[in-house]
Chain A
Amino acid sequence: MAEVQHTATSTQPIESIWEFVKEIDNWAPMVTGYQEHEKQNENDSTWVLKGDLGSVTRTLKFKVHVTEWAGPERVTFELEGINELMTGKGVFSMSGAGDGDGDGLSEITPPARPGFFARLRDAIVRFFVYKVMGRHESRPPEDRQTSAEPGAVRSELRFSLEISPGGPMGPMINAMVKPALVVAAEDLARDIVARVEAEA
């Protein structure tokens, strides 16, 4: 199982984040490798993404089923691969400043953001380092960022995703997808917050 998590903070209230997140069409194109999605109903949709697996790019089709709309705090969902043996689940968690289990968020200065592939390379190297150094963690390291000025944080969005590739090659594919997921989670959380900030 590959598990990633990223938190982004916002100057906007939790309700603004929720208003944006509750409508899938708003943020679907922000998903890394997004090609298309189709909603069957409020809870079910099918997605097509392109993603890197080792040296090749694969087209991934999967179903998403929202298991809980608990606005404005939480949306949980499950994934099931259509053309790949894969299952997964994810959560968008929204909280007011200080409500989450993070700390010191407002003291972090936003760094410049290089391109996707540069960050993917960094993620791969980070991943190798964690493995090679034996620093296996029960939870993946969070890369907290904030777009807010110190003291201005009013809410945070945490995106968590677990992917479990199935089939006999699952353990190997699991290791191959993890670096890309790290970057994808970071992109999605940050881009949602950035859009909410821009539209405020």
Chain B
Amino acid sequence: MSSRIPARWDLEVDVVAVGSGLGSITAALAAHDGGKRVVILDKAPRLGGLCAYGGGEVFVPNSRYMAKIGKQDSDEAARRYFAFLSGGFNEPGLTEKLLATYREAVEYTADQAGVRWEAVDGLDDYYYPDAPGSATGRYLAVEPFDGSQLGDWQSKTWASSPHFPPATHKEMYAWGGLANITKWDYELLGQRVAEDQRTFGPGMMGYFVKAAVVDRKIEAHVGTAVRELITDDDGRVVGVRAEKDGKDFFVRGASGVVLGVGGYDHNKKMAMMHEEAHDWNSATQPYFHGDHLVMGAEIGADTASVPTYNLAMFYGYNIPGEEHDGAPIFRSSWECGCPHAIWVNEAGERFTDESFYKDYQPRVRQWNGRTQTQDNVPPFLIFDTNYRERYPLGSFMPGMDIPEELAVKADTPRELAEKLGIDADGFEKTLARFNEGARDGRDPEFDAGHFSWSNRLAGDPSYPNPNVGVVEKPPFYGVKLSPVGVGINSHGLRTNADAQVLHVRGHAIPGLYAVGISAALLDLGNGYQSGTSNMRAITWGYVAGRHLGGR
């Protein structure tokens, strides 16, 4: 039963923040600054949550940081841009609150929590620069964070992400993006590792964790999995039952509980049901199992979804033997954005601009009602020796052998197709057609190279078309890809404009809040892009924390 109030609480505070990503920690900070006693509980062995593995971009239109680099923006332009992104799948009231609050929330983190933001100069709205209300300079990232400021927590935070070396955004773009990752300044990056200078997601979360557990001395427990919400006779959430060191650990939150436990990337059943993809894998830490949905369901919480085909889902692979905390870690495949690489389906046909994940997501989910199959699943990454001479595959640098369990290798396209189990005739025709355009840097079929995101992040800017190059130099390689989530899920708890979780009967559940990915993305609708998830996590965490503090 979820209404079981224990005879004795192990810990009594005002606010229990469950999870330690951006949303939870911002809520903890705001509640603390509102005079509340707060505790942070996280089932992972380190603080920082999902965000600590990410890119650490925060999308903030019309910020003071834009003004510092001489960029113009307006709230009205931002409103038009978010309306474009939403595709009409948002709840206007939530979007309005988000837009009215995000700047205040981010400035709070800078002014009161010491987060050192800076605008990424020269970075446009690199998803849709031609969209209504688009502008340059809206992306914020943090200055490098010195991990030694965390004191005893230094080794109990996510110091590095397996997906991003400790460069800054400015450096990454200046050094040629991910395609040119072998040309980055690794003497500098090695020095950063040695000195625990953190950037990207680990750097961003370093600032937030420091603000909470070092500066404010907010109590935090890692390795503490919250299993159950505890309600009183009136249905108010008054605490949680967690498991710590194999025992129940009852924590009272007199004012309320904030759920910021991410999504369900490591729950294959939920992922299949909600994300329309089989064999879901994840690039995230193995601690996101949909706990918020289970605990919410037990007390009648409502849930909601946004369309699946426009979130941050990629396709990728696991390098054999690569794990984190005992679970396989999957890498999103950026390779498909490089020249000399394409995707094909089992018919040997291209079906998308594979350099832009927003283009391929709806196409991999496309259902063939005549055959009861998703015809573009699985996609196969195909590349040639032109590629291998220039770019890595995951951790396999040019010149290294790639293990056969990861990549199939063949001397001819036909042999490669046969080894991969794809239609050889179709594949040969596809290559001939693609190469004809690629010689001129064109992709007449799918217009690869059109999007700024693909050009900047995944493409090679030294090419006339950063995302297109012929695939013709033997030997050829093929990798069967799997869905790889990055923790941005389509289904979450339904919340109101105060970040309170709604009951299926429509009223707010007193004492229960959801933030970050645990809250359904109805504020954005169909409008995910890099940085919006972090922005909304900060915003709704700020809203929840202030509401808990009576403001």
Residues of A within 8 A of B (CB): 50, 54-59, 83-85, 121, 124-125, 127-128, 131-132, 167-176, 178
Contacts and interface: CB of A to CB of B under 8 A. Distances in A.
A131 B192 CA distance: 10
Contacts of A131: 194-195
Contacts of B148: 128, 132
B321 A59 contact: yes
A171 B192 CA distance: 11
Contacts of A175: 190-191, 193-194
B273 interface: no
Contacts of B159: 54-55
Contact of A125 (B155, B158, B186, B401): B155
A56 B162 contact: yes
Contacts of B53: 55
Nearest to B397: A167
Contact of B324 (A57, A170, A176): A57
28 contacts: A54-B159, A54-B193, A55-B160, A55-B162, A55-B324, A56-B323, A56-B324, A58-B321, A58-B322, A58-B395, A84-B395, A125-B154, A128-B147, A128-B194, A131-B194, A132-B148, A167-B182, A167-B397, A168-B182, A169-B182, A170-B186, A171-B186, A174-B190, A175-B190, A175-B191, A175-B193, A176-B160, A176-B193
Interface in B305-353: 319-324, 329
Interface in B481-528: none
A102 B486 CA distance: 51
B147 A59 contact: no
Contacts of A85: 397, 400
A128 B196 contact: yes
Given A56-B162, A56-B323, A167-B399, 8 more contacts: A50-B321, A54-B161, A57-B322, A58-B321, A167-B400, A175-B190, A175-B194, A176-B160
B184 interface: yes
B474 interface: no
Nearest 9 CB-CB pairs, A to B? A59-B321, A171-B190, A175-B193, A121-B155, A54-B160, A175-B194, A172-B190, A168-B182, A175-B190
A47 to B, nearest CB: 13
A25 B452 CA distance: 56
B183 interface: yes
A57 B323 contact: yes
B403 interface: yes
B184 A56 contact: no
B222 interface: no
B151 to A, nearest CB: 10
A132 B193 CA distance: 11
A132 B187 contact: no
Contacts of A170: 186
Nearest to A131: B194
B165 interface: yes
Given A59-B320, A175-B194, A83 B403 contact: yes
Interface of B: 53, 147-148, 154-155, 158-162, 165-166, 182-184, 186-187, 189-191, 193-196, 285, 319-324, 329, 395, 397, 399-401, 403
Contacts of B401: 83
A168 B183 contact: yes
B17 to A, nearest CB: 23
A169 B195 contact: no
Contacts of A50: 321, 323
A60 B24 CA distance: 37
Contact of A55 (B161, B182, B183, B321): B161
Contacts of A83: 400-401, 403
A173 B53 CA distance: 18
Contacts of B321: 50, 58-59
Given A56-B162, A128-B147, A128-B194, A171 B322 contact: no
A132 B158 CA distance: 19
B162 A171 contact: no
Given A55-B161, A55-B162, A175-B190, A132 B324 contact: no
B430 to A, nearest CB: 31
Contacts of A125: 154-155
B189 A171 contact: yes
Contacts of A172: 165-166, 186, 189-190, 193
Contact of B322 (A56, A169, A174, A176): A56
Contacts of A54: 159-162, 193
A165 B15 CA distance: 47
Nearest to B53: A55
B235 to A, nearest CB: 40
Contacts of A124: 155
Contacts of A57: 322-324
A59 B406 CA distance: 14
A76 B183 CA distance: 35
Nearest to B52: A55
A132 B190 contact: no
A167 to B, nearest CB: 5
A128 B196 CA distance: 7
A168 B184 contact: yes
Contacts of B161: 54-55
Nearest to B324: A56
A15 to B, nearest CB: 39
A66 B205 CA distance: 46
Contacts of B400: 83, 85, 167
Contacts of B320: 59
Most buried by B among A57, A84, A85, A132: A57
Nearest to A123: B155
